[in-house]
Structure 1
Amino acid sequence: MKPMYFGIFLIVYIVIIAANVLLISLIYKEKSLHEPMYFLLCNLAVNGLYGSTTLLPALLSNVLSYSYEISLSLCQTQIYGIHTYAIVEFTILAAMSYDRYVAICRPLLYHAMMSQRVFKLIIFTWLYPMTAFLIVFILTVRLHFCEATIDSFYCLNYSLVRLSCSDVAVVNIVGLLSK
């Protein structure tokens, strides 16, 4: 069954890449789509590329492998990528909802307001999640691990923290506060 799973996930990965690249290039080339909502949609597509590239290549290599092991550094890289992907996704959706709020509640001022704020919003949607999770991630990286098995096909921060033999109270509190 491994070749079939590999083929399915490879097709899914190729479709994700093709669809997102097509959307990004369409928004880039078509001047009529150079509006705030389309810039945010373009960032959603970029984030889709980022998230799928964080997860699927490692998954594809594990499907074909006889060993399902992953190095600690690769697991930590995957943790940072998956968590920041999710936070960026939600932050972009929040920025898109703000765009719709301004369009509905201030229709006459929409273009003036959003054309000034859209690039600040885009920078915020990437910068905030990357730095916010970095604090939790640094605390996780500093832990010492006693066990070496995660019961999942990808690494999550909580799964790695559970393997630690260090005191994880600070990591748990900061993790809860950061969400």
Structure 2
Amino acid sequence: MTAPAAQAAPASSGGGPRHCTLDLNTGAERCFADFTAAVEHASGGRIDDAPASARAAAHDSGFRARARSLAADGERQADGVIQGTFFEDVDFGGDSLTITGASLCEKDGWVDYQYDLQDAWKNRISSVQPWGNCWLWLYPEPDLGGDRDGPFKENTADIGSFMNDRTQSIGFS
């Protein structure tokens, strides 16, 4: 499933990191001044007490457990599932993009969902967090083109030099 094109939000304008959410089903993107608000929006209000910083959330086992249990709840999946969060800087720093999709990823050897990054996010990703049973694959070209890197199965504070600041499309499997 490929996400509809969305108008990308403008890059951060010096006032601190921006935390954006993107719905793969609609292509709608919204940006927030803090990570807590972005997670609350991405989770449909089901997680309203995420740490204020993405870096703190990455190291907060309680937050990660709540996010996993939310994804495992079949009734709540109808409202969408957080499938991955992508960060501008290593160690989950800088701007973030949290992508939601229709359901959990299946472990069947295929890419279940894909997204071509808009210009504002191309060539900016340095760390990733997979959610929703998804493994993340990063590609240097649109439409999952070029030599991919991954799968990223766990929180990865530094994706390494091969794809650092080179990602243009993402596969969720």
Q: TM-score, normalised by structure 2?
A: 0.23
Q: Where is the helix percentage greater, Structure 1 or Structure 2?
A: 1
Question: Which entry has the higher C-alpha Rg, 1 or 2?
Answer: 1
Query: Please, what TM-score do these two structures have when normalized by structure 1?
Result: 0.23
